[in-house]
Structure 1
Amino acid sequence: MATSDDASVDRLSALPEAVCTRILSLLPTKDAVATGQLSRRWRRRWCRLPSIDLDFGEFSAGQVPSWQSQSSYTTFVDLVLPICASRRSLRRVALRPCSGTWQIEIDRWVRLAMAGRQLVALELDFSHLLTPHHLGKHLSGEAPLRVPDSLEELKLKCCVFDPLGFEPFRGVRSLMLSSVSLADAEFLSRFPALESLVIFHCEVKNGLAVRHCRLRWVEMEGISFEPPAAGCPLEVEAPAMEELSLREMKGSPALVVRMGGQLQRLKVENCYFDQGEGGGREDTVGISLEVDAPALCEFRFYGEPGKECCFRAKSPNLDQYLSSGMLASTLFSCLRALTMEVGLVYEELPVMEALLRSSPFLQSLSINIDNFGEPFVRDLSNVDYEVERLEELYGDYWESFKGPIHCLALHLRTIEIKNFTGKRLEDELARFLAANGKVLTKMAVSTPSAIFSGLDFL
């Protein structure tokens, strides 16, 4: 006769197979495999897990890795990975090996993971290793490693990636690279079906060309162009791309976007190029922009702009573009709202004017003035003297050019200026916008505090 305790065990074991698999999938992989000791019925249930996470962190328990924990992890992976990879139920594999793992062992595990018949997602995280793993270079065998056509999502972290060590990633639609060293400028050609690309804090050794006919979303943050790639522009040629976000890029002097007919959202934030050997602030300049994106709807630029700024203009040089008096009505024809975060120093004014001229149907303009840093100031002892002689040195920029700005004359209805402190350039800009906004219905100006108003121009 079964006891009440036996009935409880039987009740759990009698659950539908799908429910048991779901329960196991919610557990850490190490604990899910341990359920094989519960009873004979549970001995092999973990083999049908749709997802396995082989993380060394589960064996070190947040402590300094020991020889015993490393050995236990290696034994565990050698047991679990071959069994799960041989089953059609496996959809996702995450591998985070420990620091003491041999390169040849890691390559063998990668081969086993790639052998999954229906593998959809693969994550390879080598952040526990003391030195970056050369993924693709140390793979044993003469032929490139076969990649399952079912693989749609690939994430790589902390490695040197050599795509030539693999067959083309024909099915991958989403690629995320974090702290990866890229030596092949054309590595995206190995991903013919790619739609989403995310790159975080990666090193570019031989330049980077984002040329792809299917790519739709691109996000890059913290990428650095290292020698011999330093000084090479970031080239983007993706006719299907809808969104491009670029933050904190270093070592490249320019962003060049060609064939951006579908590009609707563009963000460029804090991208700089060191043009000297001293590494000082005076040697650092913002990147130049050459963008072909007639359908752009949202544009955000934050940081110091480069000298050249071209949006489907005939001349890439900003000064030539402005002096020619051109008013290209097709530029940014979909743009209705524009936000600019600027330090409002004299070198930024041509770029601000270029953006206004390139947005003929702009209806809303927001300018956030950053007064916390002045990257263009070379000698702080001469600040007061230069401010007093500003008109003599530069004159009023907004009164010096010729030709109307289309959006101010016909469409711009709302203007917002934040952190206004009454400095000369701020006052001149505010006066110009207020005087030339022919259809302006609202102009809001806010100051950093209620103590200072500085709104004499009104």
Structure 2
Amino acid sequence: MKRWDLPVIESMLQSSPYVVTLVIDIISGHIESDTELEKKKKGQIDRISTLPDSILLRILSFLPTKDAVETGVLSKRWAYLWTSVPYLLFDFNHFECTDDFASAVDHTLLLHRASKLTNFSVRFKYKKDLKPRVDLWVRFATAAKVDQLSLDFSPPCYIDLDGYQLPQHLYANEFISELNLSYCKIFPNGLLHWSSLKHLCIGQSPLHEDVIRKVLMGSPRLESLELHDCWEFNRLDIVSESLKKLVIDGYLMGMSKRYAPVLELEIVAPKIHSLEILGNFYYTTCRIKDVSALVEVKLDFDMRRRYHSEEDNYIKEVYGYKEYRGIVRDILQSVHHVKKLTVGNWCLMVVSLIIAKHPPSLQKKCICTTETNMENWNLLTKCQCLTMETNMENWNLPGIAFLLQSSPYLETLNFHIPPFCRIGTEYLRWSYHAGNHWELKDTYFKFLLLCLKSVKIQSYGGLMGKKELNFVVQFLLKNAKVLEKMVITPPRAWQNPTHDMLRGSLQMAQKLLSFPRSSPHAVVIFSYL
């Protein structure tokens, strides 16, 4: 190894953040003595230790801090090398009790001597009596001008109001570019000053609307905001010019101090380009008011309310889905202009519920019935990429057909099939019959896919070969005039198949390959990656 090789190695390490195994074969460039050759045969030559500190520190950065510290027993060269690592990652999973974990963090920070930290991450079950020590950890990280700070805390038993309250000095920081806070209370006394912050993720925390405003005003470079299972706000008014991505993953209605049988959450974000609404919104409705700049949307949420018995679920769903239909319809209307749309299983089920009883007319481009209340439906005229997460049950087909029919300029179509997902099917099982769909399939699917070029079907469960999946594949091959490629990826279990699985796979492949194709260039690929 020559000195001029070192920048190449360091560059390769920096561009490989997820490296698991590193092997370096070093050519010494000189004639080895008999002693050296003998040591080499016995594996006694330590060539890793001859590498410069910059590369060794980069290697240690891939390890949890506990493992990096343990390398100090290797030799004198390694004894205190870990103390200069700019990445400190503390995870409670490597310890048996909280006290041992806290003591290990204290001891590590006492010996650590790096003047600048790239990443400081602490993950453990927070207890109130540890607040003074956690305050010192945060002070240590900010004094080292940390770039990425993660306080990934969780409650000892269940989510409560005793989360970690951030120290006031943290609200004035000009170095942090990525901040991850979980089970933390955010209550700044004055204005915030996060001048370098680009990515902010907050989870399991109360968030008042005035705090959200302060965060947005005090973060002029903020590009991405994620809220996971937060509460206390009912309106998100995103006025930031820099924010481009907003993720709302669940809302904990039960933690809110505001009493309301149902909370209505409003989202106003005229400047963002990407929006994701995910997770559980029990007893919470969601309305999107202004998202005119949106390009990409993911709708994978669930608003069902939980009841004690299946009978209660069925009775409540009969009435509840009337409300759900209106909410899902309005959200889809609000994002009709996006280029990339992902629709989750529950949302697709609600769309199917709307369409099942009132199939679209061949002569109309909208659905105009009083009960469905889909008057003046705007087509997804700008949608070029559509992803549907569906278990490919019979009652999903009306929703699939409607979204396809609403996307005349679709170029890329993706299906993600989960392993086993029984989402709110009690009502549909009783109110929707398979025969109705098959009798009306010509009505549903009488349209041309003139722009569709790529189809990808990714299965994560055992649903390959189902008649509904076969029907969708057959329809797409028959009607997509310019289709170039259809990739079908079976579940991971099929990567090590049994004899019966191989036989079933072959039969399925033969059946799918026998379907007629309208595009002369269409190829069907079975991927086992």
Residues 213 and 239 in structure 1, CA contact (< 8 A), matched pair in contact too: no
Partner of 1:305: 350
Match of 2:7 in 1: none
**TM-score of the pair, normalised by structure 1:** 0.63
Letter in 2 for 1:184: H
AA in 2 matched with 1:121: Q
**Contact 1:50-1:90 at 8 Å conserved across structures:** yes
What is the correspondence of 1:96-115 to structure 2 with a 5 Å cutoff? 96=123, 102-113=129-140, 115=142
- Secondary structure, counterpart of 2:122 in structure 1: strand
SS in 1 for 2:154: coil
In 2, the alpha carbon distance for the partners of 1:383 and 1:50 equals 60
* CA apart distance, 1:120: 0.3
Sort the Cα spacing of 1:419 and 1:217 in 2 relative to 1 into closer, same or farther, 3 A.
farther
- Aligned equivalent of 1:242: 273
Structure 2 contact 314–426 (Cα < 8 Å) conserved: no
**Counterpart residue number, 1:172:** 197
Say whether 1:231 aligns with 2:262: yes
In structure 2, do the counterparts of structure 1 residues 161 and 319 end up closer, same or farther at CA, with 3 Å as the change threshold?
A: farther
Q: What is the letter of the counterpart of residue 345 of structure 2?
A: Y
Find 2:384's aligned residue among 311, 317, 335. Answer: 335
Paired position in structure 2 for 1:152: 177
> By how many angstroms is 1:246 displaced?
3.3
Task: Determine if the alignment matches structure 1 residue 213 to structure 2 residue 261.
Answer: no
Residues 305-347 of structure 1: CA deviation (Å, up to 9, x unaligned): 26899xxxxxxx9856988874756x4324365647364549x
Q: Is the 2:384–2:412 contact (alpha carbons within 8 Å) kept by the matching residues of 1? A: no
State how far apart, in whole Å, the 2-side matches of 1:100 and 1:414 are.
51
Match for residue 292 of structure 1 among 335, 340, 346: 335
Q: Report what 1:312 is aligned to.
A: none
Name the residue aligned to 1:355: 403
Structure that is richer in helix per residue: 2
| Matched-pair identity in % | 18
Q: What is the match of residue 283 of structure 1? A: 316
Alpha-carbon distance, 1:271 to partner: 1.7
Deviations along 1:33-67, one digit per CA (max 9) or x if unpaired, are 67789999988765543122344554x3xx3x286
Q: Is the 8 A contact 2:297 2:338 kept in 1?
A: no
Partner of 2:223: 195
3-state SS of paired residue (1:182): coil
Q: Distance between the aligned counterparts of 1:107 and 1:195, measured in 2?
A: 28
| Contact 1:136–1:163 (CA under 8 A) maintained in structure 2 | no
8 Å Cα contact 2:246-2:274 kept in structure 1: yes
Alpha-carbon shift at residue 153 of structure 1 (Å): 0.9
Instruction: Report how far residue 119 of structure 1 moved.
Output: 1.4
Q: Which range moved further: 118-127 or 235-244? A: 235-244
> 1:149 Cα shift?
1.1
SS at 1:333 equivalent: coil
C-alpha spacing 1:239/1:21, structure 2 compared with 1 (3 Å): same
Q: Does structure 2 conserve the Cα–Cα contact (< 8 Å) formed by 1:152 and 1:172?
A: yes
**What's the RMSD between the two structures over aligned residues?**
5.8
Alpha-carbon separation, structure 1, partners of 2:137 and 2:451: 58
Number of the residue aligned with 2:110: 79
Query: How far off its partner does 1:112 sit?
Result: 0.8
Task: Return the alpha-carbon distance in structure 1 between the equivalents of residues 294 and 466 of structure 2.
Answer: 36
Pairwise CA distance, 1:241: 3.3
Q: TM-score, normalized by length of structure 2?
A: 0.56
Aligned partners of 1:439 and 1:37: how far apart in 2?
66
Deviations 1:147-200 (A, max 9, x none): 32110111223x14324368343322122344x123324644304332223444
User: Could you say what secondary structure the match of 2:135 adopts?
Assistant: helix
Q: Aligned letter for 1:305?
A: V
Task: Give per-residue Cα distances to partners, 1:276-309, cap 9 Å, x unaligned.
Answer: 8986244344552242352423443422226899
Change (3 A) 1:333 1:90: closer
Q: Deviations over 1:187-229 (max 9, x none)?
A: 44304332223444x2423335262433333445455443547
1:456 corresponding residue in structure 2: none
Q: Which residue of 2 aligns with 1:125?
A: 152
- Number of aligned residue pairs: give it: 408
Q: Secondary structure at the match of 2:107?
A: helix
Structure 1 residues 144 and 356, CA, compared in 2 at 3 Å: closer, same or farther? Answer: same
Aligned to 1:271: 302
Could you tell me how far apart the structure 2 residues matched to 1:413 and 1:24 are? 45
Partners of 2:120 and 2:194 in 1: how far apart?
A: 16
Change over 3 Å in CA distance of 1:116–1:332 after alignment to 2: farther
In 2, the alpha carbon distance for the partners of 1:46 and 1:387 equals 64
Q: Which amino acid aligns with 1:195?
A: E
| Matched letter for residue 169 of structure 1 | W
